[in-house]
Amino acid sequence: MPMVLLTCDKDIPEREKHVYLKVEGEDSRDFLPISNAPTIPGTLSERGCSFCGAKLVIGGVLKDTIQMIHGPIGCAYDTWHTKRYPSDNGHFQLKYVWSTDMKESHIVFGGEKRLEKAMHEAFDEMPHIKRMFVYTTCPTALIGDDVKAVAKKVMEARPDVDIFTCECPGFAGVSQSKGHHVLNIGWVNEKVGNVEPEITSKYTINFIGDYNIQGDTEVLQRYWDRLGIQVIAHFTGNANYDDLRGMHRAQLNVVNCARSAGYIANELKKRYGIPRLDIDTWGFNYMAEGIRKVCAFFGIEEKGEALIAEEYAKWKPQLDWYKERLTGTKMAIWTGGPRLWHWTKSVEDDLGVQVVAMSSKFGHQEDFEKVIARGSTGTYYIDDGNELEFFEIIDLVKPDIIYTGPRVGELIKKMHIPYINGHAYHNGPYMGFEGFVNMARDMYNAKSNPLLKLAATDIRGGARTVIREAAE
């Protein structure tokens, strides 16, 4: 039976339905882990909240927009500076954080006046910024503050500003995935079609589901420029607010992160007839395939092949150097959702790395279908994994390196296992040909670094090595 009840879960037997071990000859369609379901009481989830999915993942990336968070200061602080998405305007969105700083008295008497005051203050302090997102959080949603009415009032007082409200408090869904959905649908309902973009090429796309983590967008933008393809809007890496209002004029929606942004691509297809094309941008084989698919749509295959040949000539020798030294490495991936299936086959094919365990915080059934189809037998696939499960899986598969976020990463460091930030990267970008060489370099450096082994050595003598004290 490929569903697994880990020893640490013996008191929470419901977790068996969330842990899958791929076995030779089994039909994986019958054994998908339960996903996108409420966290089982008693397990310490690594998930984020729905508000986080809207603000941190998507909205907060915009480079020319005030991100007003209507709630306690902690909600603002928790979603600030935890992702590395730079921009070409001095990283405005990384420098500042905005909050209405709700206190108990405001919860009792209502926070709409405080929100209105904060919005005016923000625009006054930053007169060059004319765009704003407003987010509700758990307490302001519970007391029923009407943020849309407040936004309308502020826009009437300031005709040159535009404000988008995202009503997605933390409790709105089981994970940050709900925040992705709410922001996607809200944006296409309220803002798309309000601005007409300037068309400068006969080939136009929206690039959807890329957030410019450590410059990913800039790498991909160079490819589109060389192919003569105009990007109407990046959703939302290095993007302007008004760029996203003109998404209805693209000829093609190219989707990278389907989990966080596939919703808006589907709506654009339904409402404006714009086709959707999904690609992978991590890995040499996948990136080349993605370029070929986009170029085939526009009938510019020769340009695409020339670009691929140039990039291979420049970067493939470096990748081969790392592959020779990384082949046979065992890797675990504990991230959000799509990167599991984006990365598992690319590291195997391009680097000879074996992925032995994967855990998803907010993946849906289709994400597990993809990753299990691409993954190898003997690999564990976990939905909404918790700390004790991580430790047990490490004992079972003994990975050489782990890609995960900073929270789990701190535990991994204490176990003296090489760790790489799978959310915001170590030394990115990681997308594209150049980016995948960076990813291979970080993997090689982490695995080859002697400091972790030295740190695991007990200088008091003897063979004692402390590796599990964090869980004891």
Q: What's the pLDDT at 83?
A: 77
Q: What is the pLDDT of residue 465?
A: 52
Those residues with Cβ within 8 angstroms of residue 197's Cβ, 6 or more apart along the chain or in another chain: 232, 233, 243, 246, 249
Question: What one-character DSSP code corresponds to residue 58?
Answer: I
Instruction: Write out the two tokens for 80.
Output: 């600030």
Measured CA to CA in angstroms, residue 182 lies from 135, 177, 255 at distances of 11, 9, 18
Q: Which CATH fold topology does 50-173 show?
A: Rossmann fold (3.40.50)
pLDDT value for 462: 59
pLDDT for res 30? 76
Residue 121 sits at the vertex; the CA angle it makes with 119 and 127, to the nearest 5 degrees, is 100
pTM for this one?
Answer: 0.94
Q: Which tokens sit at 156?
A: 């009437």
pLDDT in tens, 360-403: 999 999 999 999 999 999 999 999 999 999 999 999 999 999 99
Question: How buried is 443 (Cβ within 10 angstroms: 0-12 exposed, 13-18 middle, 19+ buried)?
Answer: buried
Tokens (6 digits) for 387: 């700390």
User: Do strands 330-335 and 401-404 pair parallel, antiparallel, or not at all (unpaired)?
Assistant: parallel
Q: What is the pLDDT of residue 159?
A: 98
Task: Tell me the pLDDT tens digit for each residue of 114-153.
Answer: 999 999 999 999 999 999 999 999 999 999 999 999 999 9
Q: Which two tokens stand for residue 329?
A: 């490495």
Q: Is the pLDDT of residue 468 over 70?
A: no
Across 236-251, average pLDDT:
98
- pLDDT tens sequence across 4-27: 999 999 999 999 999 999 988 887
* Residue type present at position 255: V
DSSP letters for 114-160? HHHHHHHHHHHH-TT--EEEEEE-HHHHHTT--HHHHHHHHHHH-TT
* Weakest mean pLDDT among 166-170, 310-314, 462-466: 462-466
Contact 98, 121 (CB under 8 A): no
- Is 248 within 8 Å of 272 (Cβ atoms)? yes
- Alpha carbon distances (Å) from 399 to 24, 30, 408: 21, 27, 15
CATH code of the region 204-306: 3.40.50.1980
Q: What ranges do the domains of the chain cover?
A: 50-173, 204-306
Task: Tell me whether the CATH fold assigned to 50-173 matches the one assigned to 204-306.
Answer: yes
d(CA 116, CA 98): 13
